[in-house]
Amino acid sequence: RRPLEGARPPEVGIGELDEEGRVITVPVEREGLPPLDLVCAYTPNSGAGLDRLRYRIDTWDPAFRDFVSGRHERGRRVVVVGDLNVAHLDADIWNWGQSASKDKAIGKNAGTTPEER
């Protein structure tokens, strides 16, 4: 195995989140191919009681979107992977099949709100 050459925590543009190390980018340069950035993100969740939902929607999401778009606009292909803390569909919830989970108010829990989906 080789270490990930060039892996670094980039500046997303949100001071406190940049300090948390929520994004790591690995630039991939191969002869004959356009440059690629592999971006691994750990998106903050909305928290218990959705106390951080507004922060997530109004601060993190736009800043991360601008970060990724900026790399793309500079001619780099971008692949985003990681824990994005969202469940696109009810079936994406890890324990949805358990009876206790079926009773949860989907859409009122972190990662399942309409704003996040």
Active-site choice (66, 83, 90, 92): 83
Q: Where are the alpha helices (DSSP H) in 1-117?
A: 15-20, 53-55, 61-73, 99-102
- Active-site residue, 42 included: yes
Burial classification of residue 40, based on how many CB atoms lie within 10 Å of its CB (0-12 exposed, 13-18 middle, 19 or more buried): middle
Give the C-alpha separation, 70 to 52, whole Å: 26
Q: Which two tokens stand for residue 15?
A: 């001071």
Active-site choice (42, 51, 55, 90): 42
Q: What is the DSSP string of 95-117?
A: TTTSHHHHTS-TTSSTT-STTT-
- Active-site residue, 83 included: yes
> Closest by alpha carbon to 65, among 93, 92, 39?
39
Residues with a catalytic annotation lie at: 42, 83
